[in-house]
Amino acid sequence: MRTVRTVAELRSALAPARRDGLAIGLVPTMGALHEGHLSLIRRAAQECDLVVVSLFVNPAQFNERADLDRYPRREREDAALAARAGAELLFAPAVEEVYPPGFATSVEVLGGLAERLEGVSRGAEHFRGVATVVTKLLCMALPDVAYFGQKDAQQVLVIRRLVADLNLPVRVQALPTVREPDGLAMSSRNALLSPAERERARSLSAGLRAASELAADGERATEALLGAVREKMAELDVEPEYAALVDPDTLEPVERLTETALLAIAARIGDVRLIDNEILDPTTTTTTTPTHPGEAIATCSA
């Protein structure tokens, strides 16, 4: 696998494939690859002729300097993992390549989609940073398909919106969350947890599972479902930063589980902020929350 660092190198590496009409898949990442990323790369390799993985820790989407500074960086291991999963090209640009001097443009998805949930907790700059860098990566690589993880359900909605609104010629493919054996959603930030924090981190998936089971037993009141999340998380001494039951397409809060809804949560475990989500379906009578890696949670319909 080849590593390229400039947009010019990326475009010339992709030119023969484009000329031959081959399908190009892009998996945008910030590195510290885990099984969740690898599932995206493997799917891209199945569906496309050539897979590019981008590795760029995007400063514009971090609302806390400390979070950016301690974000795990391990390019050499990432390159080996990406190659093994089926990627041909690693695009690992420097910050100045993505944001050269004089850079003055940003992409912002307006309205509730970017303002709710993570938008409240992390501020408008977070999704502005994500939308801007993803738009740039799509323009740089011009892939046929771009792959994202459903763990970042709100990010997927924001990206689908900008792709539609800007008429970008790419298919956005979201794939299910991959989990550790105890249910913890895989995330690059998990590597920052101490052993004691790692134990408490399973409170997020445990909270989702508790609500999912209650819903499967027939509970429809949002307050009761969110109460089950909070109660379960409290057992591991974790208080959610938010726990919300929302429409899976608009992210507007729902009062009762009468249609498929997205249950989204965020919590701080020590200094590490984690998010997770699950789709609740009122027609389901058994819970789908997985406890094994590679198993899918029910996917968002968006």
Which helix or strand (DSSP H or E) is residue 209 part of?
helix 203-216
118 within 8 A of 154, measured Cβ to Cβ: yes
Instruction: Detail the DSSP E strand segments found in 63-140.
Output: 89-91
Q: How far separated are the first and last CA of the chain, in Å rounded?
A: 33
Among candidates 34, 16, 11, which has minimal Cα distance to 26? 11
Beta-bridge partner residues of 51: 25
DSSP one-letter string for 241-269: EEEEEE-TTT--B-SB-SS-EEEEEEEEE
Interface with ligand PAF (CB under 6 A), residue total 10
Q: Is 79 in the site for ligand PAF (CB under 6 A)?
A: no
One symbol per residue from 195 to 224: x for binding ligand PAF (CB under 6 A), - otherwise; what is it?
A: ------------------------------
Instruction: Tell me the closest approach of the beta carbon of residue 110 to ligand PAF, in angstroms.
Output: 19
Piece in contact with ligand PAF (CB under 6 A), picked from 23-31, 164-172, 174-182, 195-203: 23-31
**If we measure between CA atoms, which residue out of 52, 22, 42 comes closest to residue 84?**
42
In 3D, which of 53, 3, 56 has the Cα closest to residue 25? 53
Binding range to ligand PAF, per CB under 6 A, among 28-36, 73-81, 172-180, 260-268: 28-36
Nearest approach in angstroms of CB 51 to ligand PAF is: 15
37 flagged as catalytic: yes
Q: Is 30 in the site for ligand PAF (CB under 6 A)?
A: yes
Stretch of residues binding ligand PAF (CB under 6 A), selected from 76-84, 127-135, 192-200, 278-286: 127-135
For ligand PAF, the binding residues (CB under 6 A) are 28-30, 58, 61, 130, 133-134, 152, 155
List the catalytic residues. 37
